[in-house]
Amino acid sequence: MTNNLNLQVNNDFLEAFENDNVDDMELIGNIEYLMSLEAKNKLNYFQYACFLGKNQVAAYFDSINRYIYSSIDQFGNTPLHLIASNPKNEDFQLAEYFINKYKSEILHSRNVFGLTPFHVSCLQSNINFVKYLLTKYSKEIDLTDEENIFKLSPVNCAKKANCKEIIALLTNKTATEQEQPQIINNSNVPTNEIENNSELLNKIKELTSTINTQANTISEKEKEIQKLQKNIISLNQQNEALNKELTQQKSIKKQLNEFSKEIFKFEGKVNTINNLQREQIRKCESEIQQNQSLIKSLEENNNLLNKLLISSKEEAQGKQEELMTENRSLEENCHKLEAEKKEIQKSFEARIQELNNKYLACENEKKALTDQLLREKSEFEEKYKLLELQTNTFVLADIEIQGYHVRRHNYLIPTIIFCIIFSILILMIIGYKK
């Protein structure tokens, strides 16, 4: 749900931006965040509105966030630079708004290359913006300004762009500025006396020629004076900075002096940042060239990788087919082994059953044999008792009959007993074997 809401807000924002509709823009929340997002060509929406000439939206953004105006693009272009760079802009209400708000310093602002908005308008063949600045702010425009890294004046910028209309406009402007002192000096000549007196006229002509030459020299000196004044101003600024640094340690007004010192430091930082940006641009260009060579090498490597992938895919397909055939043979062997396993289990179970039956039969035979042995043992014991009684009776009878032979035959009885016992033992062994 949150993603859908964000998309809806962005769509509403884009629609209001395209229509230059501030009323719809006011209904959207989080405008400060949205205006700082990148719109196109590394420009945020405020800078892009200035480039497209969205007067209402750009002024609305500037009123919401007073710091958004100080945002510059990657080339150090201010909003006025962006307005000047688009020849399609015909309504300069937004430029008037910025110039009135930020005074004439915006006209003299420079980008990374040291170009003012007037230089940019000449380079981009923006004839409408050139006419606008020359008609409204001609005193602020320096047609001889070459303080940029290209050493180009506005006329040279127009020549670079091959815009004949701007070239003619600027050359006429410079010509009229050079002719103004002559017109002023000629207007001061008393014409009535010239008509009345020819001698005075000749003298006046001589005077006018000398005045013209002096005016030319004066104009040249004025230019030199202007340059000297600029140098004096820069020197005065340096002296003021030094004086402020000295007075900061001595006077009570430390905060005001520190603020002015921070301004000068900020200007130095801006210059260093501009220099760094120039170096970064050069580095970026070299990196782009390196990246292009890397891209070429990467493309070659990519082609080699694609070839290797194709060959590896073919090998993988062949190996996969071999594995499939091996897998099938293994599955068949598994089925055979399972069938053999089942047969072995069946035969093993039958063998176990057969052995169990034999074991039961042996147990039964064992029981029968033990019973038989017990019966034979009991019978033998009975026979032994009877035989013992018989021997006893036989011995007694023999003693009674042959009493007188007892003394002679002392060893007869033990031998008889021994023979009887031996015969009994033999009978027992024979019976046990049976």
| Band of pLDDT at residue 402, cut at 50, 70 and 90 | low
Within-domain flag for 263: no
Specify whether 222 is located in the same domain as 332: no
Checking if the pLDDT of 123 tops 60, the result is yes
| Counted domains in the chain | 2
- Expressed as residue numbers, the domain containing 396 is 295-433
Residue-wise pLDDT for 23-60, tens only, equals: 888 888 788 888 888 888 889 999 999 999 998 999 99
- Residues 301 and 423 both lie in one domain: yes
Residue 78 lies in a domain: no
Nearest to 79 by CA among 33, 57, 147, 131: 57
Q: Are residues 221 and 315 in the same domain?
A: no
Q: Which are the contacts of 85, defined by CB distance < 8 A and separation ≥ 6? A: 51, 77, 120, 121, 124, 126
| The pLDDT of residue 155 is above 90 | yes
Counting Cα atoms < 13 Å in the Cβ hemisphere of 26 gives 7
Choose the most confident range, by mean pLDDT, from 76-80, 103-107, 277-281: 76-80
Q: How many CA atoms lie within 13 A of 11 on its CB side?
A: 6
| Domain contains 161 | no
Q: How far is CA 350 from CA 61, 182, 305, 347, 408, in A?
A: 98, 139, 64, 5, 76
Which of the two residues, 143 and 10, has the higher pLDDT score?
A: 143
Q: What is the pLDDT of residues 334-378, one digit of tens each?
A: 888 888 888 888 888 888 888 888 888 888 888 888 888 888 888
Residue entry with tokens 């082994």: 337
Q: How confident is the model at residue 306 (pLDDT cuts 50, 70, 90)?
A: confident
Where does the pLDDT of residue 166 fall: very low under 50, low under 70, confident under 90, or very high at 90 and above? very high
**What's the whole-model pTM score?**
0.42
The residue behind tokens 């009776």 is: 393
CB 65 within 8 A of CB 35: yes
Determine, yes or no, domain membership for 379: yes
Pair 217, 312 in one domain? no
C-alpha–C-alpha distance, residues 132 and 127, integer Å: 9
Asked, for residue 126, whether it belongs to a domain, the answer is no
Whether 109 and 78 have beta carbons less than 8 Å apart is answered as yes
pLDDT in tens, 208-264: 555 556 555 655 665 666 677 667 776 767 777 777 777 776 666 666 656 666 776
**Same domain membership, residue 302 and residue 221:** no
Residue 294 confidence (pLDDT): 85
Contact 239, 224 (CB under 8 A): no
Q: What's residue 223's pLDDT? A: 63
Mean pLDDT score, 113-118: 94
Q: Does 241 share its domain with 324?
A: no
Nearest residue to 49 (alpha-carbon basis) of 426, 153, 65, 170: 65
Same structural domain for residues 247 and 300?
Answer: no
Do 215 and 344 sit in the same domain of this protein? no
Same domain, 364 and 239: no
One domain, residues 321 and 238: no
**Is residue 366 in a domain?**
yes
Q: What's the chain's Rg over C-alpha atoms?
A: 64
